Amino acid sequence: MRRFFGGRKKAEEIEIVSRKPVAKFKVEQSLNVLGKETLIGEVEGIIYPGYKVKGESVALVREIQKDRKKVDFAVDGDRVALVLEGKTNAKKGDVLEVYQS
């Protein structure tokens, strides 16, 4: 039996449940904002907070921002910032797969 205090899982314990990616995210820039990995780039498909982004490792999308404002989702062609919980170690030009949680 595992116990998680504060309701948080460690980054290495995030798992992908769905088999097919629902979207792709082309990374234009990778930043570290207040200790969170933040990726700026273009969406191909649809992304919601709670989805998972797969790079070298898997990270949870905590928040999506468009034009410096928090949004509920991002769709095809949107240029957004994804605030992640965990690290993907993505670099400029990487195309990451996005999975439903």
Tens place of pLDDT for every residue, the chain, 101 residues? 444 445 555 545 666 666 789 999 999 999 999 999 999 999 999 999 999 999 889 999 999 999 999 999 999 999 999 999 999 999 999 999 999 97
Q: Using CA atoms, how far apart are residues 71 and 91, in angstroms rounded to an integer?
A: 24
The model's pTM:
0.81
Number of domains in the chain: 1
> In this structure, what CATH number is given to the domain that contains residue 12?
2.40.30.10
Domain of 58, in residue numbers: 5-99
φ, ψ of residue 11 to 5 degrees: the values are -55, -40
Q: What DSSP state is assigned to residue 21?
A: -
Q: Which of 44, 41, 39 is nearest to 24 (CA)?
A: 44
Q: Sign of the CA dihedral 20, 23, 24, 30?
A: negative
